[in-house]
Structures are given as C-alpha cells and as structure tokens.
Amino acid sequence: MQSSNVSHISNNLAWVLVIAGGIVECFWASGLKYADNLLLYTLTGIGILFSFVCMVLAVKSKLEIGVVYSVFVGIGTVGIALAEIVVFGEPFSLLKIGLIVLLLIGVIGLKLSTNKEENAQEQALAEGFAKDLGLDEIVQKESK
C-alpha cells in the first residue's frame, strides 16, 4: 500500500479543514430546509461534498476521528441553531442555548478523554473510508 500525502497535512491545516467543513455544514443543512429549485439543491449537494471531504482529509491527517466528527457536528449544530434564531426568526430559548453549551462541553470532554489505542483504531477506519471514497487516488494525482 502506498503512503498518501494526506498524512503530511499539518495539524493546524487539518483543524482549519474541520472548521471550514463545519461552517459549510451550517449552510448546506439550512439549504436542505430552504432549497426550492435546482440551483439551490445543486449548491446544497456541493456543500455536502465539500464539508465531508474536509472532514475526511482532516481525519486522514492523523487527527482523532471521534474528536474531529464531534467538532464538525458541534460547529454545525451551534451554527444552525444560532442562524435559525438570528436569521430565520426562530424563538430564543434558554433551554436551547443551555443544551448547545452542554454539547460544547461534551466535545471538549471527548478531546480530553481520548487515548492512543482508540486513536490508532479510528485512524485505520478513516484510512479505509478515504480509500473507499477514492480520496487517496485524488491526492496522489495532485501531488505528481
């Protein structure tokens, strides 16, 4: 098996990918609710693809999959909940804000509780997933 250049992505760049993917997730998730024509459905599909490719590349760079996915989904959850309140006029709820804070505490706790053995298993799973999606081949072609 050939080594992929994705594993050479720095941790900082990997976290930028996670954050970018999470932010784009906010837009495509709202797009699922508000899309009503082919252009908006297409943009939603592109957003889904972009955000998940960012997440997969971040995981391939040796970040822990459990933490990456939690942060990715946490950004999406917080972003969508706040956008629904601020942009789309959903009612403000202290309970909703409290649960979002609880989610963020859970993500931080997950990061603090991971261990090396879990990380190795999660990394092997992520590499298999990226290979199945063909991301390894794309990266190898771009690096040539």
Q: How far apart are CA 41 and CA 64, in angstroms?
A: 32
Say which residue, 86 or 141, is predicted with more confidence: 86
Mean of pLDDT values over 116-126: 64
| Domain locations along the chain | 5-143
Q: What is the pLDDT of residues 32-46, one digit of tens each?
A: 888 889 998 999 999
Residue 2's pLDDT band (boundaries 50, 70, 90)?
Answer: very low
Residues 21 and 50: beta-carbon distance below 8 Å = yes
Is 6's pLDDT higher than 50?
Answer: yes
Q: What is the pLDDT of residues 47-73, one digit of tens each?
A: 999 999 999 898 888 788 888 888 888
For the CA atoms of the chain, what is the radius of gyration? 17
What's the distance, CA 115 to chain centroid? Answer: 21
